[in-house]
Chains A and B, each alone.
Chain A
């Protein structure tokens, strides 16, 4: 219970801090002017940080949604009797996706689809597949065989077993995979600014190129807070979708496989 309360408090605090930094960054100009004398203007003044954030968040959200749909779908498929043979192949593909550096994917994607948000979107979508696929498979396989046998034996159709039994029991694990993917993608999206996407990486890249350190700091702080806030929100959501009963009963069933 204590843990649960702390979780929600942290979500609210991180949210307030993030919103304040996002909205009032220009007001921090004197602080940056004092810390980094001689840089004009002291706060990045391209697009507003709110605009950068909206574009960044939109890119991460759509890319993660695509990864989630693909990876959960693939995870379900390879844990069905018909798709079991593709399990190894799916694992291999997702691992390749994960081990290609996003920069390399951008380098390949830009000539193919041009500058703008699209190459970044592709890189993020590929990058998010592995954690979600792994967690989907792990979550579905953690459903005790006895529970699945009982469900089938009661007369649930395969689709009913999946929707009423397997997915609810695997939901928290799948969501943990989505959380990992989203948080990684929030960080990774910043490099999209090198190929024309508008993200919170834009001030960072401008700062690096123009030798203006405060812009790098400003961009990095906002991205960092955004990542922390999103992580806490998704963690809290994960706790909501996994009833305490399901957790301990699953633990118990794993402890004595009868």
Chain B
């Protein structure tokens, strides 16, 4: 869905982005992670041409982005930034309606879409549609920012440190919201972050960037199990590495189907870290596991976690 091949960006003789190739498949969530100055934001902004690349090619949905006028390209790609950038003189409804209005949607369709998105982002339309951005909390502003990006139903969402400015509790809520939105809409999402835990939690694939290059590309497990360079190793942070590994695997992967166990069951979709925490809390080395339908489907043992 998004294909970068050998993309280079030079500023004043310095290669900020130095030959990046990256593919994000339809419906996948990919995190571009790195420290500041690694070129991750620049890479993201070349996709919607807020930054023009120096050389290379980028395809979006199979189409070369240089063949489209930048405005047309951008109206097809949702864009969310850290500081949100809601239009302060427009209401929540008008903000969300930005792109549909540019695309000349009929008014009733816009109004319906706004209501639908406020619902998706769990904001009560009657309460929030008419409010101005300054009347919202930081988390609510970012929800509106995400709704605005999704308004014209783009296939792709680009997010530049979307949760970086939020307090830890709100960030946690927005992570859940992110998962919920991806579950519901199946958008292809590429997001930039400097927070490895965030990337591990939200992304299907991680592209770790250093000095303008991708130094490792892989799933959270691959990154955790085999950090390719010292830098990736440092970025993960080796404290609690074991818990981080548990956090990216599901109970379903290690459970023993059909085995009975006493007590309340844990969801098969919970992480192994959740399971460990539950065992410690209950002073037990066995938990019952229930499937999506809520039926007890098996058990998981402490020994399975370390396997």
Shortest C-beta distance, B160 to chain A (Å), equals 9
A154 CB-CB contact with B under 8 Å: yes
Stretch from A22-30, A57-65, A143-151, A213-221 contacting the other chain: A143-151
Shortest C-beta distance, A63 to chain B (Å), equals 31
Shortest C-beta distance, B92 to chain A (Å), equals 11
Cβ-defined contact, B132 with A149, below 8 A: no
Cβ-defined contact, B165 with A155, below 8 A: no
Cβ-defined contact, A154 with B134, below 8 A: no
Q: CB-CB < 8 A to A144: which residues of B?
A: 83, 85
Q: Mark B50-82, 1 if CB is under 8 A from A, else 0.
A: 100000000000000000001111110001011
Residues of A in contact with B, size category:
20 to 34
Whose C-beta in chain A lies nearest to the C-beta of B131? Answer: A245
Q: CB-CB < 8 A to A157: which residues of B?
A: 71
A165 to B95, CA, bound (A): 11
Q: Given A149-B50, A252-B134, A258-B165, is A155 in contact with B74 using a C-beta cutoff of 8 Å?
A: yes
Number of A-B contacts (CB under 8 A): 81
A168 CB-CB contact with B under 8 Å: yes
A171 to B10, CA, bound (A): 37
**Residue with the highest number of chain B CB atoms closer than 10 Å, among A150, A151, A160:** A150
A interface SS class:
helix
Taking a contact as CB atoms closer than 8 A, the residue among B81, B134, B135 that contacts A149 in the complex is: B81
Q: Given A147-B88, A155-B99, A245-B134, is A258 in contact with B74 using a C-beta cutoff of 8 Å?
A: no
Cβ-defined contact, B87 with A147, below 8 A: yes
A147 to B88, CA, bound (A): 8
Cβ-defined contact, A155 with B75, below 8 A: yes
Q: Given A155-B74, A155-B102, A245-B134, is A146 in contact with B89 using a C-beta cutoff of 8 Å?
A: no
Q: Given A144-B83, A146-B81, A245-B133, is A153 in contact with B74 using a C-beta cutoff of 8 Å?
A: yes
Residues on A facing B (Cβ under 8 Å): 144, 146-157, 160, 165, 168-169, 243, 245-246, 248-250, 252-253, 257-258
11 residue pairs bridging A and B, Cβ less than 8 Å apart: A146-B81, A153-B48, A154-B75, A155-B71, A156-B102, A169-B89, A243-B132, A249-B89, A249-B133, A249-B134, A258-B82
